[in-house]
Chain A
Amino acid sequence: GENVEQHPSTLSVQEGDSAVIKCTYSDSASNYFPWYKQELGKRPQLIIDIRSNVGEKKDQRIAVTLNKTAKHFSLHITETQPEDSAVYFCAAPLLSGGYNKLIFGAGTRLAVHP
């Protein structure tokens, strides 16, 4: 079926360690892959995105990699800090009736311990 699967559901790391969150998608036509961060009680906000014509994109401590053949993409956070603690969501546009509907993964709750 049409879905976006995200793992792990929870992730606990020590400050300074790296964190990796993985997502798979079902629609081979998907060509845009955003990652959102949601702090407690707040709205989701985009932190990084990647399009299907590149394999990797980096922005300071965060990076996203894409493997179109395997239909999966990953978020990498290096040198984690306590303020990185939040819920992270991946998303992908799934084609439906000629239009793209943006479907989110189930989320990963990241806890960074000082």
Chain B
Amino acid sequence: NAGVTQTPKFRILKIGQSMTLQCTQDMNHNYMYWYRQDPGMGLKLIYYSVGAGITDKGEVPNGYNVSRSTTEDFPLRLELAAPSQTSVYFCASSQINTEAFFGQGTRLTVV
């Protein structure tokens, strides 16, 4: 059981570039989440999904897009990267109202 796997671990983007953060889980969880964590701050929900084909906005969705074509995968797309998107991104998965398991995080810097 690998749990929740995120790639890449680190990335530097130039302003205006785009990229996709990958997230895969092997626990057959229905719920998947993307959070961002700015330095010294809390976890802000970007988008979440309750199953394949169903996604919804979280607290800070602007500048991001997601898709959920399979139970296992929940990629996060950044279009037109901005310095304000410099952060650590965590993917997580769970069943409803149970423990959420986090990936190891992706440290993104936009310069």
Contact of B42 among A51, A89, A101, A102 (CB under 8 A): A89
Report the minimum CB–CB distance from A51 to chain B (whole Å). 7
28 residue pairs A–B, Cβ–Cβ below 8 Å: A31-B97, A34-B99, A43-B90, A43-B104, A44-B90, A44-B102, A45-B102, A46-B99, A89-B42, A89-B43, A91-B100, A93-B97, A96-B56, A99-B48, A99-B50, A100-B31, A101-B33, A101-B48, A102-B33, A102-B92, A102-B100, A104-B43, A104-B44, A104-B45, A105-B42, A106-B42, A107-B42, A107-B43
Contact of A100 among B42, B54, B97 (CB under 8 A): B97
Chain B residues in 8 Å Cβ range of A93:
96-97
What is the interface size of chain B, counting residues whose CB is below 8 A from a CB of the partner? Answer: 26
Chain A residues in 8 Å Cβ range of B74:
none
Chain B residues in 8 Å Cβ range of A106:
41-42
For chain A, which range describes its interface: under 10, 10 to 19, 20 to 34, or 35 or more residues? 20 to 34
Interface of A (DSSP majority class): strand
The 8 closest A-B pairs by CB, nearest first: A32-B97, A43-B102, A106-B42, A104-B43, A107-B42, A46-B99, A99-B50, A101-B48
A103: interface (CB < 8 Å)? yes
- Nearest residue (CB) in B for A30 is B97
Report the minimum CB–CB distance from A107 to chain B (whole Å). 5
Chain A CB count within 10 A is highest, among B33, B42, B96, B103, for B42
Report the minimum CB–CB distance from B75 to chain A (whole Å). 19
* Contact pattern, B 14-57, Cβ under 8 Å of A = 1, otherwise 0: 00000000000000000101010000011111001010001010
